[in-house]
Structure 1
């Protein structure tokens, strides 16, 4: 049996697919598990032992420009995938995604499974599943395999990311330059794009001081590089600026690429992040994460997007993360660190 999981979206979303991969490999050990990713997110599952093959599609459009070579490469790869004659194609989205469904159908597997709002809109789907309610994204993805006659277990495996040697080497070098070692710091990050999900400057300064006093740990402060009006990916330079201007002796700033940021998260005693892709990576790290959510009546809720893993915690603010008390934050953080 050959099973293809189509997962061509965000980094954290692909990471949340890894519990499904681990479970399927255990539940159907004779099956070949293939993943269709793209050249933006495929590295998330590099070395994953539960994916037998990863198909990496190039982005045909990038920065608003059509890439002819990428279009030709995509057409060739699609032809190769059709020759695989997949028994099952699972469109790996927790809700209807027309582009993902079209991509899944283009492979022409014997059975294609996807969530959709109305089955009549997708007559070519062999299994059109209703969009689930009140279910975590990782379980929504695993639930796509139920048409195979499988029952999703009460507890799925934890998300899996294998830090490459290059990341370990970077972390070792960077930490040596700063004069402290693995486990000697806490990561505190920005990167949720929306102000209500970001800790305030006062909170960052207060929390880092408390972390130093209670545990003798430095705070590695990281954020998404770039300006907030960047059309490709908004950054947090303006938000980080007042924290840096305070020149706190407890804070070591890191403004760097994502993979290097993940490497530092992997060596941290614990991490604190707003709802974001980095939050999910931190949840999969040895130190775990305290995630922050806010105004979830209109924003993504932790019931679907909360961090998962053996050392994952979160707090939910009614309106803004800035309203969370230090006592509430440190009650959760203490559980991670101690």
Structure 2
């Protein structure tokens, strides 16, 4: 049996696909499992032995321009994939994604499975499915494989990410330059890009002081550059700039690419992140994570997007993370740092 999983979206979403990959490998040990990714998210599976092959399609358009070479490479790769003659194509989205469904159907597998709102709209799907409610995204993805005769277990494998040696080498060098050691700091990140989901400047400064007082740990502070009102790439400068201006001796700022940020997360005692891709990577790291959610009646809920893993905790605020009490935050942190 040959199975293809189409997964060409965000990095955190790709990470949440890894429990499904491990479970498929366990449940169908003779099957050959492929993943269709893109050159943006394929690196999340680097070093992961669960898929037998990862196809990484290049981005055909970049900065609004058509990349002719990438288009030709994509056409060749899709032709090669059709020749694989997949028995099952699973469109790996937790809800209907028309573009992903079209891509899955274009590969001409014997059976194609996808979530959709109406089967009438997708007559070529052999297995149209309704997206389940009140289910974590990792389980939604795994449930796509139930037409293969599998039952989703009560507990799926944890998300899996292998830190590349080049990233580990960066972390060792950066920590050395900044007088830090692995396990000797907590990462505190912004990155939700919505004020209600982020800790305030006062919370960041106060938590850093308390982490130093209680555990003798520094705080590595991460943020996304840019102003919050930027319509294309909203950033965290409105919160980060006053934090940096305070010159708190317990805070070590870091602003860099995602792979380097993940490397520092991997060496931290633990991490604190609002709902974001980095939160999910931190949940898969040795130190685990405390995640933040807010106003979940209109925003993503932890029931679907909460961090998962053996050291994953979260707090949910009514309207904004600013409402969370220090007592609640440090109760969760103590379980991660002392546990």
Aligned to 2:105, the other structure's residue is in SS state helix
Aligned to 1:81, the other structure's residue is in SS state helix
Cα distance, 1:230–1:76 mapped onto 2, change above 3 Å: farther
* Aligned structure 1 segments of 4 or more residues deviating by more than 6 angstroms: none
Aligned equivalents of 1:315 and 1:27: distance in 2? 34
In the alignment, which residue of structure 2 is the partner of 1:321?
Answer: 321
Aligned to 1:30, the other structure's residue is in SS state coil
The answer on whether the counterparts of 2:190 and 2:199 sit within 8 Å (CA) in structure 1 is yes
In the alignment, which residue of structure 2 is the partner of 1:41?
Answer: 41
Aligned to 2:72, the other structure's residue is in SS state helix
In the alignment, which residue of structure 2 is the partner of 1:135?
Answer: 135
Q: CA RMSD in A?
A: 1.0
Query: More deviation in 54-63 or 283-292?
Result: 54-63
Aligned equivalents of 2:295 and 2:14: distance in 1? 25
Aligned to 1:26, the other structure's residue is in SS state helix
Aligned equivalents of 1:284 and 1:206: distance in 2? 26
Aligned to 2:299, the other structure's residue is in SS state coil
Unaligned runs of 5+ in 2: none
TM-score using structure 2 length: 0.98
The answer on whether the counterparts of 2:60 and 2:71 sit within 8 Å (CA) in structure 1 is yes
Equivalenced residue count is 338
Aligned equivalents of 1:131 and 1:334: distance in 2? 37
Aligned equivalents of 1:74 and 1:228: distance in 2? 35
CA apart distance, 1:70: 1.4
Cα distance, 1:66–1:230 mapped onto 2, change above 3 Å: farther
In the alignment, which residue of structure 1 is the partner of 2:169?
Answer: 169
CA apart distance, 1:14: 0.1
Aligned equivalents of 1:280 and 1:151: distance in 2? 25
In the alignment, which residue of structure 1 is the partner of 2:295?
Answer: 295
In the alignment, which residue of structure 2 is the partner of 1:258?
Answer: 258
In the alignment, which residue of structure 1 is the partner of 2:273?
Answer: 273
In the alignment, which residue of structure 1 is the partner of 2:78?
Answer: 78
Unaligned runs of 5+ in 1: none
